[in-house]
A and B are shown apart, each in its own frame.
Chain A
Amino acid sequence: MSEQPSNFIARLRAVVGDDGLFTEPQQLRLYMYDGSIDRALPMAVALPRTAEQVAGVVRLCHEEGVFLTPRGAGTGLSGGSIPLCGGVVLSTARMKAILAVDTENQTVTVQPGLVNLDLTKHVAPLGFQYVPDPSSQGACTIGGNVAENSGGPHTLTGGVTTNHVLEIELVMADGERVRIGSPAPDPPGPDFVGVTCGSEGTIAVVTQILCRIVRKTECVRTMLAAFDSCRAASEAVSAVIASGIVPTAMEMMDHTALAAIEAFSHAGYPVDAGAVLLLELEALREEVEDAAPRVVEICRANGASEVRVAQNDEEREALWKGRKKAFGAMGRIGPSYYVQDGVIPRTRLPEVLERVEEAARKVGLRVANVFHAGDGNLHPLILFDDRDPGQAKRAIAAGEEILRACVEAGGSITGEHGVGMEKRDYMVLQFPEATLAAFTAFRDACDPGHTLNPYKLLPSGLGCAEGGKRQKTMTQMQELAERNAAVGDAY
Chain B
Amino acid sequence: MNVMERLCPSSYDEASRMLHEASTGGNTAIVGSGSRDAWFPPARSPVVALDSAALSGIVRYTPADLTICVRAGTPLADVQAALGREGQRLPLDPWPQGTVGGLIASNDNGPLRTRWGGVRDALIGVRVALPNGEVARFGGDVVKNVAGYDLTKGYVGSAGAFGMIVEATFKVQPQPARGTSTALSGTLDAVAAAWRALRERALPFAAIEVVRTEDGWTLYALAEGDGVIVERLIRECGEAARNAGCSTREAGHDEVVEQARKPAGARTWLRVGVPPAQTASVLASLAPDQRAVARPWVGIVEIFGEALGEDGLMPVLRGAVEARGHAHVRRADDGLRRLLGWWRIEQIEGGRTMFPMLKNALDPARRCNAGRTIYDQLDEG
Contact = CB atoms under 8 A, between A and B. Distances in A.
Given A195-B154, A445-B357, A438 B136 contact: yes
Given A284-B203, A347-B64, A442-B358, A372 B153 contact: no
A40 interface: no
Q: Chain A interface residue count: which class?
A: 35 or more
B45 interface: no
A344 B347 CA distance: 39
Given A191-B120, A215-B200, A446-B357, A183 B275 contact: yes
Contact of A414 (B65, B147, B150): B147
B349 interface: yes
A478 to B, nearest CB: 28
Given A190-B161, A442-B149, A151 B226 contact: no
Interface in A170-185: 170, 172, 176, 178-185
Interface stretch (A29-37, A154-162, A223-231, A324-332): A154-162
A413 B148 CA distance: 10
B156 A290 contact: no
Interface stretch (A60-68, A114-122, A269-277, A428-436): A428-436
A370 to B, nearest CB: 16
Contacts of A181: 350
Contacts, number: 274
Contacts of A203: 149, 357
Interface string A138-156: 0000000000110100010
A246 B173 contact: yes
Contact of B148 (A151, A162, A444, A457): A457
Nearest to A215: B202
Interface in A429-475: 430-439, 441-446, 457
Contacts of A42: none
Contacts of B145: 343, 412, 414-415
A437 B364 CA distance: 13
B321 to A, nearest CB: 10
A386 interface: no
A344 B350 CA distance: 35
Greatest chain A CB density within 10 A among B201, B349, B351 is at B351
B325 A345 contact: no
A372 B161 contact: no
Interface stretch (A10-18, A254-262, A391-399, A416-424): A416-424
Given A412-B140, A457-B148, A345 B67 contact: yes
Interface in B196-221: 200-204
B154 to A, nearest CB: 5
A141 to B, nearest CB: 17
Greatest chain A CB density within 10 A among B148, B202, B320 is at B148
B375 interface: yes
B142 A284 contact: no
Contacts of B232: 284, 286
A215 B197 CA distance: 13
B354 A415 contact: no
B82 interface: no
Nearest to B141: A410
B361 A438 contact: yes
B54 interface: no
A205 to B, nearest CB: 14
Interface in B142-177: 142-159, 161-162, 173-174, 177
Given A190-B355, A218-B202, A163 B117 contact: yes
B31 interface: no
Given A159-B117, A413-B147, A445-B357, A191 B153 contact: yes
Interface string A194-231: 11011100010000000000111110000000000000
Given A189-B375, A410-B142, A287 B147 contact: no
A238 B64 contact: yes
Interface in A67-82: none
A162 B150 contact: yes
Contacts of B203: 284
A290 B140 contact: no
A242 B64 CA distance: 6
B298 A185 contact: yes
Greatest chain B CB density within 10 A among A106, A372, A419, A438 is at A438
A188 B328 contact: yes
Contacts of B147: 412-414, 419, 423, 427, 430-431
Contacts of B134: 433-434, 437
A95 B149 CA distance: 26
B142 A190 contact: no
A198 B350 contact: no
Interface string A369-382: 00010011100000
Interface in B248-287: 273-277
Interface in B280-332: 298-300, 320, 323-326, 328
Contact of A191 (B157, B174, B231): B157
A241 interface: yes
A83 interface: no
A435 B136 CA distance: 5
Contact of B350 (A148, A170, A432): A170
A334 B367 CA distance: 57
Given A241-B66, A346-B64, A418 B146 contact: yes
A342 B358 CA distance: 27
A153 to B, nearest CB: 12
Interface of B: 62-67, 87, 107, 109, 113, 117-118, 120-121, 130, 134-138, 140-159, 161-162, 173-174, 177, 200-204, 225-226, 228-229, 231-233, 273-277, 298-300, 320, 323-326, 328, 343, 345-347, 349-351, 353-358, 360-362, 364, 373-375
Interface of A: 102, 104-107, 148-149, 151, 155, 159-160, 162-163, 170, 172, 176, 178-195, 197-199, 203, 214-218, 238, 241-242, 244, 246, 283-284, 286-287, 290, 343-347, 372, 375-377, 410-419, 423, 427, 430-439, 441-446, 457
19 contacts: A102-B275, A180-B350, A184-B274, A186-B300, A188-B157, A188-B345, A189-B355, A190-B351, A242-B64, A346-B64, A346-B66, A375-B142, A376-B144, A410-B141, A411-B142, A414-B147, A441-B361, A442-B362, A445-B360
Given A107-B275, A412-B144, A438-B136, 17 more contacts: A184-B275, A186-B157, A188-B328, A191-B156, A192-B351, A198-B149, A347-B62, A347-B64, A375-B144, A414-B146, A417-B146, A423-B147, A427-B148, A431-B147, A431-B148, A432-B135, A441-B361
